[in-house]
């Protein structure tokens, strides 16, 4: 018995027995997501869909279908990326490196944490916040950057 009025979020079987879930219904079309392969495809609203029964499915369906980028989870054994601020602050307070050298060293020490990040912008932001917190930023002739903490003697 084909369903002519599919509900959004409900699961059905196609004519071939593939398990699908209805994502959207528009005028004349509906967007379906295959529960076995996570593929999305468009079908006319008159496409015959049967009620979902697990034993009647031609393919094994996944427990939770793909939901998009918001459901990105860490795999087992994969740690949260480290913050770059402690690494950058230590290098700025130590001094003796150029901006390019700091970028290279931060990328070497925390390569996983640098993925998708603008490392030079992070270094400039750390310079800004160190300056706001009372450090003096010095650059020598060889363009080495150093943050020097001001000691307050009363």
- pLDDT tens track for 78-119: 666 678 999 999 999 999 999 999 999 999 998 888 888 999
Q: What Cα–Cα distance (Å) separates residue 70 from each residue in 21, 67, 81?
A: 19, 7, 18
d(CA 1, CA 114): 55
Cα 129 to chain centroid, rounded = 26
- pLDDT tens track for 4-31: 678 888 888 888 888 888 888 888 888 8
- Model confidence, pTM: 0.48
d(CA 78, CA 140): 41
d(CA 8, CA 60): 21
- pLDDT tens track for 61-84: 666 656 555 545 656 666 666 789
Residues sharing a CB contact under 8 Å with residue 83, sequence separation 6 or more, in sequence order = 113
Residues sharing a CB contact under 8 Å with residue 33, sequence separation 6 or more, in sequence order = 20, 21, 23, 39, 40, 65, 66
Strand ranges (DSSP E) for the chain? 11-13, 19-25, 29-34, 40-44, 50-51, 97-98, 135-139, 144-149
Of residues 85, 143, 149, the one with CA closest to residue 114? 85
Q: For strand 50-51 and strand 40-44, is the pairing parallel, antiparallel, or unpaired?
A: unpaired
Is the separation of the CB atoms in 106 and 88 below 8 Å? yes
């Amino acid at each position: 018995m084909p369903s002519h009025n599919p509900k959004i979020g409900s699961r059905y079987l196609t004519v071939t027995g593939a398990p699908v879930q209805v994502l959207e219904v528009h005028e004349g079309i509906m967007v379906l997501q295959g529960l076995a392969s996570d593929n999305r495809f468009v079908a006319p609203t008159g496409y015959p869909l049967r009620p979902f029964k697990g034993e009647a499915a031609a393919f094994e369906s996944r427990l939770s279908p793909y939901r998009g980028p918001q459901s990105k989870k860490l795999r087992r054994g994969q740690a949260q990326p480290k913050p770059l601020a402690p690494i950058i602050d230590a290098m700025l307070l130590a001094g003796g490196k150029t901006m390019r050298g700091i970028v290279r060293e931060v990328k070497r020490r925390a390569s996983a944490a640098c993925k998708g990040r603008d490392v030079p912008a992070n270094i400039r932001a750390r310079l800004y916040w160190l300056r706001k917190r009372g450090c003096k930023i010095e650059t020598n002739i060889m363009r080495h950057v150093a943050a020097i903490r001001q000691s307050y003697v009363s």
